[in-house]
Amino acid sequence: MHPAKSAYQALATGEPLMAIADIPILSMLRTRLDWAQTRQRVLAENVANADTPNFRPRDIAEPTFDSAPSIAPVRLATTEIGHIAGSDSAGSFRTQRANGYEVRPTGNAVNLEEEMMKVAANQMDYQAAASLYTRSLSLLKTALGKS
């Protein structure tokens, strides 16, 4: 679309318009915000059911962005004979977690400390994504001259 043309002129000539939702970074940030809201609800349910017999805590998987470029793994270089070679695992860091839950005699497996840590981390993730979204919109407004 020509910068001087209005949206109405572009529609009249049949030129395609780009919606805010079509900008990939904003779409990804919105997905992240939706995920954080849903995760907050699930974590709140876990805390609310801390005394419910036979309740098991739940969590939701983090969203993945398939179109994101893959990053080559970092490998340790041995530049001298005395250096120890790094392990050739998948080349990425993983968090290991025990599969067992600390279950109380009532059968409840909610660990309040762990759930509250997840809630705090989720809140920070949400605030960071919301801040990036707001700043991205501000940059777009500035670029359009509507600051």
List pLDDT tens digits, range 21-46: 778 889 899 999 999 999 999 999 99
| pLDDT: which is higher, 120 or 88 | 120
DSSP 23-46: SHHHHHHHHHHHHHHHHHHHHHHH
- pLDDT tens profile 56-81: 898 988 888 765 555 555 566 677 77
Q: Where are the beta strands (DSSP E) in 1-147?
A: none
Q: Read off the pLDDT of residues 75-103 as tens digits, 9 standing for 90 and up.
A: 666 777 776 665 544 444 433 444 556 77
| Single pTM value for the model | 0.63
Is 65:59 a contact under the CB 8 Å cutoff? no
* Long-range pairs for 98-104: beta carbons < 8 A, 24 or more residues apart: 101/56, 101/57
